[in-house]
Structure 1
Amino acid sequence: MDRLTAMRVFVEIVDRGSVSAAADVLGMSRAMASRYLESLEDWLGARLLHRTTRRLALSDAGEQALANCREVVALTDDVRVQASQGGIEARGRLRLTSSPSFAQAQLTSAVVAFQALHPMVEIDLVVYDRTVNLVEDRIDLAVRLSNRIDPGLVARRLAICHSVLCASPTYLASMGVPTMPEDLRAHSFITHSAGFAPAYNLRLGGQITTIEAKGILSANETSVVRAAALAGAGIAMLPTFYVGEDLARGALLPVLPDYGLDPLDIQAVYLSRRHQPKPLRLLIEFLADRFGGEVAPWDAVTHAAP
């Protein structure tokens, strides 16, 4: 049987979660889709999927074969589209991930704008509050806030993530407005229990003052830290891409605004520069253009960056 079609069937089965759903998308019978899958397994000499009455699961061989099959399918789609339409229209399916806070505040609207330009590109946007394995989770592109580049992965910086110490007007009216870093020792902090240090480095004129954040409330999700700050629980360190509107409307006020905090890179992370599907290349370029520049768009609007 046609091995390219068999690879396409395999990829669709994994993406759609069932043989029947893949068959519907590809316009063939369930029996035909099953035969294509069996022919691919016979050709590779390995079982690609473990089948039960309730679900399908990738085998070890399936995990290894999936990335290569997806790449072959994407490359043939690129060739076909370029030949028939002069390379104008991109099509395919991308699996994209980021943190919940960045997805909510910035990435979702960017994806919608990208799909308005490229309506034939399907995107599955999944959010995690942890770093995921791109291979195991079948991720084409991860947008990460980190100054590290993982070995074996490719990273492109999209923007700089600045953070700001901030609190509600109610809290500051009650507890006083800090004017020096040392004043922070008398205040309560709302801390992020995952991904952020319990001590903050405040920078001014080449000098660094490190303040330990003594918190009475911590959370592992940025949205909860923001909600607690809005409710007047204390001072929080939050990314400006997430609280720009709160700062602009005065719901949160910057604390020690003349002092800068350690920045993080906002990175597009992917597996390889070689043989990238056209939709992935276009998405990376789109995000770099949308978020890039000397000042990130959310900082340009709010003037909240240090």
Structure 2
Amino acid sequence: MGTNDFLKVLPEMVTFVRVAEVGSFSAAAGMLGLTPSAVSRQVARLEKVLQVQLIVRTTRQLRLTEPGIEAFVRCSELVKAAQDTMAMAQQYASAPRGLVRISAPKAFARHVLHPHLLSFLHRHPDVDVQLIVSDRDVDPVREGVDLVVRLTQDPPQGLAARPLMDVQTLLCATPAYLARGEAIGHPHDLVSHSCLSLGEHERDNHWRFRRGDEDAEVVVHGRYVANHSEIRLEGVLAGLGIGCLPDFMARQALDEGTVVRVLPEWAFQSTYQGRACVLYPPNRFMVPKCRVLIDHLAEALAAPHLADGRRPGHG
């Protein structure tokens, strides 16, 4: 018998187990929704494939042969495993449970996702979360990650996307710093100021702006360069100059008045802005643990989307 021949007689194995359990072709037929003759043919087909007699048929009763007893034990294990698999799947399909692995860029993960993941864990005690903090583009399929948060206007092919919130980059400084420097009415005025830039790429100190149909670019300089937005914010708060910050990073300081926006009428053309989306492999059978986490984040982070098409990136 070939390695995969058993696939052809799986239904017959189930039928045989039911016949052996109830001791009757007609009773097994009633359980399976078949006719007694159909049940008899299935058992006969299984015996033919196995090349052993499983059941001795008499006019009054059925009796398992010695190989029939052995086959019943093994086939029963198979049926039980199938039933357990169905029950397991039903558990996962009916209620949120299990581990969700989610990846997000560093600053966004720390300052946006993290607080909402804590509230999610309290709300769903049967779901665990592994947060993978990385600024590189994680491949959910290749790396076995359930959900990936990425700033993107164009989700990669082969992945579904759920928008979470919009992110833009702001220029901020302390009122004290601005009070002691030259007035800033145009991007070109930044030349005479200390500016805290990203420093990841050669042109990160080339700051580009747009106001309506007008574009401007200025090469800025400063005493502190850092590719971490939280560190740049601390530099700004320390009075070191004007920093470029994701809006979610600057929001609390702006609300408290410890920093103010610089050139608010100009859109800063940063790579770290756009639409924050949660990406995942499309699946019409999405498990509840992922669905409830996506819904939780989308509800918590809902915001008006960007009007332009600025290209997102890292910060």
TM-score, normalised with respect to structure 1 = 0.63
Bigger Cα Rg: 2
C-alpha deviation, 1:113, in angstroms: 1.9
Tell me what 2:22 maps to: none
C-alpha deviation, 1:234, in angstroms: 1.7
Of the candidates 171, 191, 194, which is equivalent to residue 197 of structure 2?
191
Structure 1 moving runs of 4+ over 4 Å = 73-78
AA aligned opposite 1:275: F
Of the candidates 257, 278, 287, which is equivalent to residue 250 of structure 1?
257
C-alpha deviation, 1:137, in angstroms: 3.8
Residues 182, 192 of structure 2: 8 Å contact kept: no
In the alignment of these two chains, the number of paired residues is 219
Q: 1:182 to 1:228 in 2, by over 3 A?
A: same
AA aligned opposite 1:213: V
Q: 1:163 to 1:178 in 2, by over 3 A?
A: same
Question: Is 1:221 aligned with 2:228?
Answer: yes
* Greater CA drift, 241-250 or 216-225: 216-225
State the SS of the aligned residue for 1:218: coil
AA aligned opposite 1:219: A
Q: 5+ residue gaps in structure 1? A: 1-72, 297-306
C-alpha deviation, 1:266, in angstroms: 0.7
Question: Is 1:266 aligned with 2:273?
Answer: no
Tell me what 2:290 maps to: 280
Q: 1:276 to 1:209 in 2, by over 3 A?
A: same
State the SS of the aligned residue for 1:132: coil
* RMSD of equivalent CA atoms: 2.8
Q: 1:160 to 1:184 in 2, by over 3 A?
A: same
C-alpha deviation, 1:276, in angstroms: 2.1
AA aligned opposite 1:220: N
Aligned-partner Cα distance in 1 for 2:295–2:303: 13
Can you list the C-alpha shifts for 1:213-258, whole angstroms capped at 9, x where unaligned? 3344322221111121111222111011111011111222211122
Q: 1:74 to 1:130 in 2, by over 3 A?
A: farther
Identity over aligned pairs, percent: 29
State the SS of the aligned residue for 2:140: coil
C-alpha deviation, 1:144, in angstroms: 1.6
Tell me what 1:290 maps to: 300
Tell me what 1:105 maps to: 111
Q: 1:133 to 1:251 in 2, by over 3 A?
A: same
Tell me what 1:170 maps to: 176
Q: 1:279 to 1:194 in 2, by over 3 A?
A: farther
TM-score, normalised with respect to structure 2 = 0.61
Tell me what 1:123 maps to: 129
Can you list the C-alpha shifts for 1:116-146, whole angstroms capped at 9, x where unaligned? 3222110011212333333454321121223
